[in-house]
Chains A and B, each alone.
Chain A
Amino acid sequence: MNVLEQTWKWFADPASWTGAGGIWSRLVEHLGYSGLVLLIAAVIALPVGVLVGHRRSGGNVVVGVAGALRALPTLGLLTLFALWIGLGLTAPVLALVLLAIAPLLTGAYAGVSAVDPVVVDAARAQGLTEWQILTRVELPVAVPVIFGGIRNATLQVIATVTIMAYIDLGGLGRFLIDGLAVRDYSRMVASMILAAALALVLDAVLAGAQKLLSSPGLSKED
């Protein structure tokens, strides 16, 4: 229990929390990197997924692309880009955007394409334009599934941003890499407890947002 005691002592020490390398600033860095990555990935993946889902063709391409992206090892891309582009924010952000695209793309596609065609046809019969069908019928109905993709992407990005510290950047992974360097296991444990807690809290927040944004009519039990 020595390790846990040391970890606890580190958490209890106010000096661990404040300052340039403290927990709060690492947390802000972690959230900043993750937000940037998710924003870029969402701008690319969500419109494409929604559009392909609306057209109800080309689904195989989306599934294929997502599968291929999933097979790419993020750490490999990160190190490759780091050698290629140089150290800095561009390389890891690029690698992580590729990671986040797969769940966002499949979520958006699956959500929109799973909307009952009868509902879409009914909307079309009522004279809605394609744009209105998309924004007023398909997207509202697809919200839970699209949000599932967003939650999955967020979890993966939050988890993987920890390895950005490996190429001399900040974030909560900093404590892991620094702890590893000086064989301080308790600091590594602390780092991972923080990362896991952040993932749990963010997922809970997103689950709440999902509930608020989903139409009550969708959660009706059959």
Chain B
Amino acid sequence: MGNLSTVGHLTWLHLLQSVLPVVLGTLISIPIARFAAGRRARGAGGRRGAGRVRRGVVVNAAALLYTVPSLALFVLLPLILGTSITSLTNVIVALTLYVVAMMVRSCVDAFESVSPEVLDAGTAMGYRPLRAFFGIELPLSVPVMAAGLRVALVSNISMVSVGAVIGIQSLGTLFTDGLRRDLMAEIVVGILATVVLALVLDRLVTWSAAALTRWQVRA
């Protein structure tokens, strides 16, 4: 019974560290990506000049951030945040940054997948920018965004366990503990719990995306 409650506690910590950064990271990525994608409703044609530069800067900055290993973020961020490496704040901020690095690109692609004609139609029907964004652009970009979200979420769940190497508690603790105590069963339980967590959350995203895009024809 003791083991079960340990696994339960670690699963909770793992859930917290994987879901919170994905939610925060996505909420941060959406405005950044919208800014980078530029104004597409007016003069729907090709993008040139300042718009293209802006998009390039944002997308490349995100790609640059993505190249930094997550373990490095765990270790280096406390220098800026002043927290300890194992503090929950540090872990959440590090993983949120990582999710932003992955999601900005997906969100830019998502906004660009929305047909400019539809946005023009919205404008013609009297939609103001804010209403057009929440009523037309954001809902229509959900499918592409959800695809990026699934990759970010599943990668993040796997990445959280790496923190155990430097003492951050999660399901990954079962791996380091199992190795130290020569307990293969503990490691297998950890792997299974992680995979189940990933599958359940992945399904959740798929279902939510489907519920948000009821107009899509499904095979």
Whether, in the assembled complex, B96 has its beta carbon less than 8 Å from a beta carbon of chain A, the answer is no
Residues of B with C-beta under 8 A to A71: 154, 157-158, 194-195, 198-199, 202
Segment of A35-43, A118-126, A129-137, A160-168 in the binding face: A160-168
Whether, in the assembled complex, B166 has its beta carbon less than 8 Å from a beta carbon of chain A, the answer is yes
What string of 1s and 0s marks CB contacts (under 8 Å) between B32-75 and chain A?
00000000000000100000000000000000101111111001
Q: Determine if B166 and A180 form an interchain contact, defined as CB atoms under 8 angstroms apart.
A: yes
Chain B's nearest CB lies how many Å from the CB of A179? 9
Could you say which of A83, A155, A166 contacts B178, with CB atoms under 8 Å apart?
A: A83
What string of 1s and 0s marks CB contacts (under 8 Å) between A127-169 and chain B?
0000000000000000000000000000100111011001100
Near B by CB (< 8 A), chain A positions 198-222 give: 199-200, 203, 221-222
What string of 1s and 0s marks CB contacts (under 8 Å) between A38-68 and chain B?
0000000000000000000000000000010
Near B by CB (< 8 A), chain A positions 71-110 give: 71-80, 82-84
Whether, in the assembled complex, B22 has its beta carbon less than 8 Å from a beta carbon of chain A, the answer is no
Q: A155-B67, A162-B71, A180-B166 are in contact. Are A84 and B157 (CB under 8 A)?
A: no
Q: Determine if B175 and A75 form an interchain contact, defined as CB atoms under 8 angstroms apart.
A: yes
| Given A176-B75, A189-B79, 10 additional A-B pairs, CB 8 A | A3-B79, A73-B161, A75-B164, A76-B174, A80-B191, A158-B69, A173-B71, A192-B69, A192-B72, A196-B72
Could you say which of A75, A189, A199 contacts B67, with CB atoms under 8 Å apart?
A: A199
What residue in chain B is nearest A80 (Cβ atoms)?
B187
Q: In the complex, what distance in Å separates the CA atom of A160 from the CA atom of B161?
A: 12
Whether, in the assembled complex, B83 has its beta carbon less than 8 Å from a beta carbon of chain A, the answer is no
Among B172, B191, B202, max chain A CB count under 10 A is at B191
Interface majority SS (helix, strand, loop, mixed), chain A: helix
**Which A residues contact B (CB, under 8 angstroms)?**
3-4, 67, 70-80, 82-84, 155, 158-160, 162-163, 166-167, 173, 176-177, 180, 188-189, 191-193, 195-196, 199-200, 203, 221-222
Whether, in the assembled complex, B184 has its beta carbon less than 8 Å from a beta carbon of chain A, the answer is yes
Q: Determine if B67 and A76 form an interchain contact, defined as CB atoms under 8 angstroms apart.
A: no
Q: Determine if A189 and B46 form an interchain contact, defined as CB atoms under 8 angstroms apart.
A: no
Query: Can you report 27 A-B residue pairs in the complex whose CB atoms are below 8 A from each other?
Result: A3-B79, A67-B150, A71-B157, A71-B195, A72-B191, A73-B157, A73-B171, A73-B190, A73-B195, A74-B162, A79-B178, A79-B187, A80-B178, A80-B184, A82-B179, A83-B179, A159-B69, A159-B70, A162-B69, A162-B71, A166-B176, A167-B179, A177-B165, A192-B69, A196-B68, A199-B67, A200-B64
Shortest beta-carbon contacts, A-B, top 7: A159-B69, A192-B72, A71-B198, A76-B191, A79-B179, A73-B161, A192-B75
Interface majority SS (helix, strand, loop, mixed), chain B: helix
Tally chain B residues at the interface, Cβ within 8 Å. 43
Q: In the complex, what distance in Å separates the CA atom of A84 from the CA atom of B191?
A: 15
What residue in chain B is nearest A159 (Cβ atoms)?
B69
Whether, in the assembled complex, B121 has its beta carbon less than 8 Å from a beta carbon of chain A, the answer is no
Whether, in the assembled complex, B81 has its beta carbon less than 8 Å from a beta carbon of chain A, the answer is no
Residues of A with C-beta under 8 A to B171: 73
Could you say which of A74, A188, A189, A195 contacts B158, with CB atoms under 8 Å apart?
A: A74
Chain A's nearest CB lies how many Å from the CB of B207? 16
Q: Determine if B79 and A75 form an interchain contact, defined as CB atoms under 8 angstroms apart.
A: no
Q: Determine if B158 and A221 form an interchain contact, defined as CB atoms under 8 angstroms apart.
A: no
What residue in chain B is nearest A70 (Cβ atoms)?
B154
What residue in chain B is nearest A165 (Cβ atoms)?
B165
Q: Determine if A195 and B69 form an interchain contact, defined as CB atoms under 8 angstroms apart.
A: yes
Residues of B with C-beta under 8 A to A75: 161-162, 164-165, 172, 175-176
Q: In the complex, what distance in Å separates the CA atom of A221 from the CA atom of B52?
A: 11
Q: In the complex, what distance in Å separates the CA atom of A158 from the CA atom of B70?
A: 11
Q: Determine if A79 and B69 form an interchain contact, defined as CB atoms under 8 angstroms apart.
A: no
Q: In the complex, what distance in Å separates the CA atom of A208 from the CA atom of B210?
A: 39
Residues of B with C-beta under 8 A to A82: 179
Q: In the complex, what distance in Å separates the CA atom of A191 from the CA atom of B71?
A: 10
